[in-house]
Amino acid sequence: MTFNPDIPVATQSPGVFPAQNQANMGRLKTIINSDHIFNNTAPGIPPNNDGTHRRVTLTNSSPIPTGPVPTDTNGIFYSFFDANNKSQLAFWDGTIRQILTPYETLLPIKVVGSQSLLNNADISIFNVTYDWAGTVYSYISVSPNIVWQYAAIIRVGSTKTIKNIEQDEPGPLHFPNLFFTGTDLRLRNTDGNGTQTCGWSIIVNRLS
């Protein structure tokens, strides 16, 4: 039995209505409960999460919104297919369209991490196919000392440059080295004092 918005009707037998009503309510609950909290019994106040979103699921808009937004509304949040047939997010206020994704084309990217590495072992810390420029800290922290290197890095196509800006090496430790293998920016423990926990902090701007 499918949803029927015309139920009940004055001429319908009361014996028919319950089954159709159950089908209607079941369909409504399934639809609402997919993205919203649907409590069969009110949970009370506080707290009361009736109807709150557990997620927002979007189907790409076709056509893409244009022209004025509906009366008494202020904007339309929607997803769409980009030129590469990938889903992206946008906001339309009736005049200006703001494309919200992909994020790496709109704002700097932060990448941080740490890894325990054997002496002379290395690890991939940033590997993307697009061109980029950014800054990287590589460091080892062993109380009471921290050794670090601060470098400017740019990669355009097959051309890569790592330029050391500043460094600090108090005590016997040596900061981890940075190098490329193809598009892969890697970090190597060259401290020479055995296994160390090596860290990195990267800020990247996409160039293409």
149: domain CATH number? 2.60.40.1680
In a domain, 66, yes or no: no
Taking the alpha carbons of 40, 46, 50, 55 in that order, is the dihedral positive or negative?
negative
Both tokens assigned to 112: 């941080």
Q: Which residues contact 178 (CB under 8 A, 6 or more apart)?
A: 136, 138, 149, 151, 153, 162, 185, 186, 187, 188
In a domain, 70, yes or no: no
In a domain, 56, yes or no: no
- pLDDT at res. 28: 92
Tokens 């409590």 sit on residue: 39
- pLDDT at res. 5: 75
3-state class of 52 per DSSP?
coil
Both tokens assigned to 131: 């061109």
Tokens 């490329």 sit on residue: 180
- pLDDT at res. 1: 66
- Per-residue pLDDT tens for 163-193? 999 999 887 889 999 999 999 999 999 998 8
Q: What is the DSSP letter of 104?
A: G
In the predicted model, is pLDDT for residue 14 greater than 70?
no
Q: Are 118 and 178 in contact (CB under 8 A)?
A: no
Q: Which residues contact 7 (CB under 8 A, 6 or more apart)?
A: 17, 20, 21, 24
Which comes out higher in pLDDT, residue 123 or 10? Answer: 123
In a domain, 5, yes or no: no
Q: Lowest-confidence range among 5-14, 21-30, 60-69, 149-158? A: 5-14
In a domain, 152, yes or no: yes
Range of 117's domain? 109-206
**Which residue spans within the chain are E strands per DSSP?**
76-81, 87-92, 97-99, 109-117, 122-127, 132-142, 145-156, 159-168, 177-181, 184-188, 196-206
Burial class (CB in 10 A: 0-12, 13-18, 19+), 147: buried
Torsion of CA 43, 46, 51, 55, to 10 degrees: -110
- Per-residue pLDDT tens for 95-153? 999 999 988 888 899 999 999 999 999 999 999 999 999 999 999 998 888 999 999 99
- pLDDT at res. 4: 78
- pLDDT at res. 164: 96
- Per-residue pLDDT tens for 27-83? 999 999 999 999 888 877 777 888 899 999 999 999 999 999 999 999 999 999 998
- pLDDT at res. 76: 97
In a domain, 53, yes or no: no
In a domain, 166, yes or no: yes
In a domain, 177, yes or no: yes
Number of domains the chain contains: 1
- pLDDT at res. 15: 66
